[in-house]
Structure 1
Amino acid sequence: MDGSDHVIDFRALERELQAALRSDRRTHTENQAKLRAATHTHSYQEFRDIVLSCHLKPLEKKDKEGGARQQPWNPLVAPSNTQPAGRP
């Protein structure tokens, strides 16, 4: 066997590495949430909710206040003076 028989796909290798790193970060985050939740919860449902939501980031003040909304909460219920997209 000579060295020309093997071609390394570095893009595929990079994608695989990035996927493994994301998986490791998620596993670490979930484990930390489990350790916190084990001492601070009173029911399994609370524990489960904390673990399932561990990937979420809390809102910051700038996320809650100021700035106009880009989209109404329910685009199907538009103000009476405008029509929703795609409707006559």
Structure 2
Amino acid sequence: MLKAADIKKLELECLEKIQGDELYQLRNDAKLRAVYAAKNYDEFRDIVDAAHLNPVSSQDKRNASTKQRLWNSVSKT
């Protein structure tokens, strides 16, 4: 019999797997683009490492509630 805690744990595990797969797809697409666009390995690596980032809009910069947000959620800082 599944308990509520087991279901919650399974749900979190599934969400982590989905997020991991989405990041994998973003990085893989970036690799395919970078193969043709990058002039050297450092540039290739930078393109792949930044694949998950989205541009910050000027509205986000002005909005007080988003001004202090950690924009790079994958960052290890």
Report the TM-score, using the length of structure 2 for normalisation.
0.70
Aligned partner of 1:40 among 37, 40, 45 = 37
Aligned-partner residue type, residue 2 of structure 2: V
Once the two structures are aligned, what percentage of the paired residues are identical? 39
Which one-letter code corresponds to 2:8 in the other structure? R
1:31: how far off? 0.2
Residue 31 of structure 1 is aligned with which of 18, 28, 32?
A: 28
TM-score norm. by structure 1 comes to 0.62
Higher RCO (C-alpha under 8 Å, 6+ residues apart): 2
What 5-or-longer segments of structure 2 have no aligned partner? 69-77
5+ residue gaps, structure 1, are 1-5, 72-88
**Aligned 1:4-83 pairs, distance under 5 A:** 6-8=1-3, 9-64=6-61, 66=62
Partner of 2:11, secondary structure, is helix
Amino acid in structure 2 at the alignment position of 1:42: K
Q: Quote the Cα distance in structure 2 between the aligned partners of 1:56 and 1:67.
A: 19
Q: Tell me, in whole angstroms, the C-alpha distance in 1 between the residues paired with 2:50 and 2:21.
A: 17
Q: Which has the higher helix share?
A: 2
Structure 1 residue 38: Cα displacement: 0.6
